[in-house]
Chain A
Amino acid sequence: MAETEEAQVVLRLDSITKTFGALTANDAVSLALREGEVIALLGENGAGKTTLMNILFGQYTADSGTVEVFGRALPPGNPRAALDAGVGMVHQHFTLADNMTVLENVTLGTRSLWSPRMDRAAARARIAKLAADFRLAVDPDARVGTLSVGERQRVEILKALYRDARILILDEPTAVLTPQETEDLFATLRKAVALGLSIVFISHKLHEVMAISDRVLILRHGRLVHEGATRDTDRHALAALMVGSEVTAPRVASGTPGPALLSLVDVGTPDEGAAPGLKSLTLTLRAGQITGLAGVSGNGQAALADLIGGMRAPASGTLALGDTPPARWSPRAAVHGGIARIPEDRHKTGTVADFDLTENAILERYMDAPYSTRGWMHWPQAEAATRGIIDKYDVRCPGPGTRIRLLSGGNMQKLILGRVLEAGPRIILANQPVRGLDIGAVNYVHEQLLAARDGGAAVLLISEDLDEIMALSDVIHVISEGRLSPPFARGSMTPAELGVWMAGHGFEEERAHAS
């Protein structure tokens, strides 16, 4: 849009600097958002995007620099100021009350506590108008707990619009969406821009940035390293600017499949609240093969990971290691059966934050020699093993006695990798292994998984990132509402075709064919 050059600047951050001790999170970052414009803010984890947004929203106070909205400076350190000035934020993790309706969620907090009743009819009319104007199809009387992820995001956007936001900030909005839902979101955003709103779009996904934004800004180590029109650049150039050196897409040779190391036959588990259980699921993990599990989050991935990780036994059907079903199925049985488990949430389930590296490194095997015998711990052996992991997996830390909460996500994940891979596992359960990691750590984790595959391990890679699944997997399954699609060979499906399965289509036809 050439006319944006003259359009009014609605949001201006002027040379924002913020330091945390020795770390400079933002180094003289300036940014100007014009009316009716979409700018994309790109950067690796830790590049300073979140800090910048927190300064805009008054969560942090900048060391120096100013924030202006519609030409007026915002007082620093006041979280209400940005909201009142017309800036709305849609967080990656939704802030909705599940037990309330859409209408109640949208109006929540907009009325004084002392007003006797709210005018539901007026609120409903206003929401209906906003929904029509911005193509945000959602039933105002539906309970939020019953909505899909895509619908919840629409509620979040409605919330911001209901509060008269003229500037929308979207933090990784597509991370949880199917390709189709992403298209719907983009339609809404285009509509919003046409109506004069301005948007800051924070993302990792380069093709989305190319599709939706007018200008791209890239942060690296707290500095603004690039600012320019989207049409003047391409994905490779952006990726290079993000990491600072030209990245090459991993060229992954296909694995050579061997015998089945783990098989699930007609396995079922009960639903847990809103999370679906597994519905008569059959899956075989073969040696020397990466099996990718694609799907929108909350469609049974957790149930499957819990099952293979030993956290739960199948309610129906059989689970077999090699060709023998284990007598008793527990986390310990899984570990001793040769399953390396990389959990989805390394902070909550993967590590004990206030344990040191040594204590975390032996978490799964503290009962085994040489770490303990007859109930007595052997800390020197445990520490020696931890030093081995630190060296071999390049865990950056002051030493094995450091509490693990002080490590970055990437280093934490490297310790977990070392913990599970050092035992020489035959099966690897990698649940979202690179979520939240920077590109360097992502590549490292992927290399380790590929090396393990080439060494003869069977890998199950669970991810919501379709690009990651397609790049690494020899075989892809899609999971939707606890049902598993047939296996698709590498390269046999386009993202759009997989997206159809991810949205839950195709399963019924499959069943019809089978019967």
Chain B
Amino acid sequence: MRLEPIAAPSLARTFTPPALALIATVVIASLLAMIAGANPFGVLGLIVKGAAGSTFALLETLNRATPLIFTGLAVAVAFRARLWNIGAEAQLYAGALVVAVLGTGLLGWPSGVLLPALAILAMIAGALVLLVPALLKVRFGVDEVVTTLLLNFIFLLFVSMLLEGPLKDPMGMGWPKSPRLIPEARLPRMVDGLRLHWGFGLALISAVLVWVVQARTTLGYEMRAVGLNREAARFAGIPVNAVLIKTALLSGGLAALAGYSEVAGLKGNLTLDLSPGFGYTGIIVAMLALLNPLAVVAAALFVAGVFVGADSMSRAVGVPTYLADIMLATALLLMVVAILLTRFRVVRE
């Protein structure tokens, strides 16, 4: 057996395999729920209900999707240029750190100035965190997978050190957390009375902007060319190293916005459990979205929905929340195969 590329995939060919992948994911999740001793239809129903069954559930899902959109975009932008940024987690914390340090009264500006300023400074911080591995890559050929991955641990320990020391809230009863932000540094709610902050709106705008950059600007064209064929890009005169650096700055900045929106929008201060792996989950989101920035939004909503729904289901029937991780892993693996099948057909020899 081998794979043969399909010249012009039909509509059915484009949509059937991903749909089958989703159905297969649901079937496998049901089987696992049965093994755990629950009624599979009940479990799935509870997950859907927990993710989108009420206004509260829906808002919870949107809130959870917000950082995933940012980290998903960060990964999608980098991977598109074949810059393997596994360090969105560190960049997220860099953005969060900026807000936690400067948003507690150090800058006494009105909200309309302070919030954009914090966003820009957070992006710069995240960009700088990814700039180091990117420079090591283009100057010395150091593998960025290793450097970005290891930087996550270094950065998390650095944040931990700060939270135990200079950043520790004196009123925090000894917990390692930073002081609360001033009200001017908090992102307002999108709709009065609904628990959804403007971080979500910023995430949607970012997705559209990233799409515009990729599809309509020379930088986006350069990034795609560098990602698809570095040698041809260099031959054509595209400054490959400069493009990789610009990609790193954009990617790091996007990931930092996840930290910004979590601290300024949701939490109000910085703790070590700010991100339950949003940086890593961003890779899943980006892959599910085929690195398309608009599809990142849909993928982030799906992933967030599974997590939030599984939490709620677990509380109701006692099936472990690990089911959510298994569902996502299954969905990712099946989706990768499904996407292969939209572009290739299997030929039996």
- B211 contacts chain A at the CB level, 8 A cutoff: no
Q: At the interface with chain B, which of A318-326, A346-354, A466-474?
A: A346-354
Question: Chain B: how many interface residues by the 8 Å CB criterion?
Answer: 23
Asked if A348 and B232 sit within 8 Å, CB to CB, the answer is yes
Q: Which of A245-296 contact B (CB under 8 A)?
A: none
Asked if B237 and A355 sit within 8 Å, CB to CB, the answer is no
In the complex, besides A352-B228, A377-B221, 5 extra interface pairs with C-beta distance below 8 angstroms are: A341-B235, A348-B232, A375-B217, A376-B217, A406-B7
- B11 contacts chain A at the CB level, 8 A cutoff: no
CB of A127, distance to nearest CB on chain B (Å): 36
How long is the Cα–Cα vector from A65 to B235 in the complex, in angstroms? 46
Q: Which of B215-247 contact A (CB under 8 A)?
A: 216-222, 224-225, 228-229, 231-237
CB of A408, distance to nearest CB on chain B (Å): 12
Asked if A352 and B237 sit within 8 Å, CB to CB, the answer is no
How long is the Cα–Cα vector from A400 to B312 in the complex, in angstroms? 50
- B8 contacts chain A at the CB level, 8 A cutoff: yes
Name the A residues within 8 Å of B273 (CB-CB).
none
Contacts A332-B237, A376-B216, A406-B7 given: A350-B221 contact, CB under 8 Å? no
Asked if B232 and A354 sit within 8 Å, CB to CB, the answer is no
Q: Which 8 A-B pairs have the closest CB atoms?
A: A331-B237, A332-B237, A363-B236, A352-B229, A349-B235, A61-B349, A352-B228, A372-B218
Residues of B within 8 A of A (CB): 4-5, 7-8, 216-222, 224-225, 228-229, 231-237, 349
Q: Please, what's the 1-or-0 string for A373-392, where 1 marks a CB less than 8 Å from any CB in chain B?
A: 00111010000000000000
Name the A residues within 8 Å of B217 (CB-CB).
375-377
Name the A residues within 8 Å of B219 (CB-CB).
375
Q: B236 touches which one: A348, A364, A372 (CB < 8 A)?
A: A364
In the complex, which residue of chain B has the Cβ closest to the Cβ of A341?
A: B235
How long is the Cα–Cα vector from A353 to B219 in the complex, in angstroms? 19
Residue among B217, B222, B236, B349 facing the most chain A CB atoms (10 A cut-off): B236
Residue pairs across A and B with CB atoms within 8 Å: the count is 69
Q: A331 touches which one: B7, B229, B235 (CB < 8 A)?
A: B235
In the complex, which residue of chain A has the Cβ closest to the Cβ of B222?
A: A366
Name the B residues within 8 Å of A364 (CB-CB).
236-237
How long is the Cα–Cα vector from A331 to B238 in the complex, in angstroms? 8
Q: B237 touches which one: A330, A348, A372 (CB < 8 A)?
A: A330
Asked if A343 and B218 sit within 8 Å, CB to CB, the answer is no
Contacts A310-B237, A332-B237, A398-B8 given: A363-B232 contact, CB under 8 Å? yes
- A359 contacts chain B at the CB level, 8 A cutoff: yes
Asked if A350 and B232 sit within 8 Å, CB to CB, the answer is yes
How long is the Cα–Cα vector from A311 to B231 in the complex, in angstroms? 11
7 contacting pairs across A/B (C-beta < 8 A): A330-B237, A331-B234, A350-B235, A351-B232, A355-B228, A363-B236, A406-B5
CB of A77, distance to nearest CB on chain B (Å): 5
Name the A residues within 8 Å of B233 (CB-CB).
352
Q: B225 touches which one: A341, A355, A376, A377 (CB < 8 A)?
A: A355
Contacts A311-B235, A352-B233, A366-B221 given: A377-B216 contact, CB under 8 Å? yes
Q: A352 touches which one: B5, B220, B225, B349 (CB < 8 A)?
A: B225
